[in-house]
Amino acid sequence: MRSKLFYRMDPPKVLVFGFGAIILLGTLLLSLPASTVDGKGLPILDALFTATSATCVTGLVVVDTGDTFTRFGEMVILSMIQVGGLGFMSFATLLAFILGKRISFKERLIIQESLNNETVEGIVRLVKRIFLFTAVIEITGGIILTLRFSQDMAAGKAIYFGFFHAVSNFNNAGFDLMGGFKGLTAYAEDPIVNITMITLISLGGIGFIVMNELFDYRKTRRLSLHSKIVLALSAILVFGGALLIFILEFNNPSTLKPMTLTGKIFGAFYQAVTPRTAGSNTLNIPDLKQSTLFLIIFLMFIGASPGSTGGGIKTTTFAVLIGAVKSQIRGREDVTFFGRRMDHTIISKSLTVTLISLFLIGLVTMVLTITEPGKEFLMIFFETVSAFSTVGLSMGLTPELSLYGKILITITMFAGRVGPLTLAYAIAKKRKEDHYRYPAGKVMIG
């Protein structure tokens, strides 16, 4: 019966229901007495919020992770981060490999949808590579962080902290165990922690498709148009964002001013990388200037790249929109990148994703101004974009959310993780291809 239901559902519906099932299981486990230090378990709404944040690799929290949960509760969160970051279908495929089962065409379609891959061809090989990349990167990051943390804590705790933060940041989740909602502010000027975390976040954010092509580059000597756009725009956003944050915060006594020049550079770069949907921070977010906060909102909205562990509208979507505007201003019909023309369906899809995202963010922000009276608009707007883009950076609003605010942010995180277009496809009636076209009409624009 379940098998028949699975095969009747479109890939978007399978993804929505799959993520929903993982969140419900996580909610149940986090509400158990064994999950919290006080032995009472999390209240059901807080458990739902935390499970959604972990599965959707967001990092927004209503209770501090390091102070609230037992090792069991933290491992539940870490498991949901890993499954949510790589996608439950990737894990289902891994299980099928272990059991020696064949991957059906329907399952390949669902994996393709979850990874935003262009084609089904080579999808199983890509999933194998994903687990190889993930294991190598997380283990390497975990070892480096363990060696650094061992200077500040006992060996066993250093190992646990090292690997927890490696998994959390590679999957762009942003959960930390430092306690007191402090994040990684104690390591703001530490070169090892900064470089390791920035590398983990960046690798998780460029996407497995790009990672796979870079891995094969020595053999193929070529990169696809997708990879070229992702790498070029990611570099522009990170270096441009870091430069702007460095300039804006240079004389801020609450952030960069007291630091050494090296510390300032690390602080600027970390805060430019983490809005790519990682959510961990080395500077105290509420202390940043309003101009910097608005810049971070912009970076969060763009987010990571397709097929990655991150959210946002994605770098390629933003690039296509910029390309369309540039072509329109120049009076050209085609949108081109690196000598290749963009298909008009890609431009339409980019516009659709962006407009749905803006509408959802605007709607949630407006409702939160009603449910959270007395809170600053920028704080509400920041938290909404952070939730939708599955970033996890916070100005401090999340722990103070009302009942309705928690429900609304939970829904926003879920919508951001599965993707606004995937969610729309899952809710809408079965898509049908039109076999006719209406006569062309004209309207005045601008």
Weakest-pLDDT range from 119-123, 335-339, 352-356, 429-433: 429-433
Q: Which residue has the higher pLDDT, 160 or 118?
A: 160
Domain count along the chain: 1
Helix axes 403-418, 377-388, angle to 10 degrees: 40
> What is the average per-residue pLDDT within 132-146?
95
**112 vs 43, which has greater pLDDT?**
43
| Alpha carbon distance 251, 72 (integer Å) | 43
Percent of the chain with pLDDT over 70: 87
Residue 369 falls inside a structural domain: yes
33 found inside a domain: yes
**Domain presence at residue 320:** yes
Q: Which domain holds residue 109?
A: 2-427
Residue 442 lies in a domain: no
CA distance 9 to 16: 11
In the predicted structure, residue 304 carries a pLDDT above the cut 70:
yes
The separation between CA 93 and the C-alpha centre of its own chain, rounded to angstroms, equals 22
Query: Among 75-79, 115-119, 254-258, 373-377, whose mean pLDDT is lowest?
Result: 115-119
Distance CA 153, CA 161 (A): 10
DSSP of 28-51, one letter per residue? HHHTSGGGBTTSS---HHHHHHHH
Q: Is the pLDDT at 395 greater than 50, yes or no?
A: yes
* Mean of pLDDT values over 216-241: 93
Asked if residue 443 belongs to a domain, the reply is: no
List the one residue out of 111, 140, 300 whose CA is nearest residue 209: 111
Asked whether residue 446 is domain-assigned, the answer is no
- Other CB atoms within a 10 A radius of the CB of residue 404 amount to 13
How far is the C-alpha of 54 from the C-alpha of 59, rounded, in Å?
6
pTM beyond 0.85: the answer is yes
Q: Do the domain assignments include residue 432?
A: no
Identify whether the C-beta of residue 424 lies closer than 8 Å to the C-beta of residue 8.
Answer: no
In a domain, 444, yes or no: no
Contact of 263 with 191, CB cutoff 8 Å: no
The per-residue pLDDT for 276 is 82
Question: Given this model, what pLDDT does residue 2 score?
Answer: 46
Query: Burial, 253: exposed, middle or buried (Cβ in 10 Å; 0-12, 13-18, 19+)?
Result: exposed
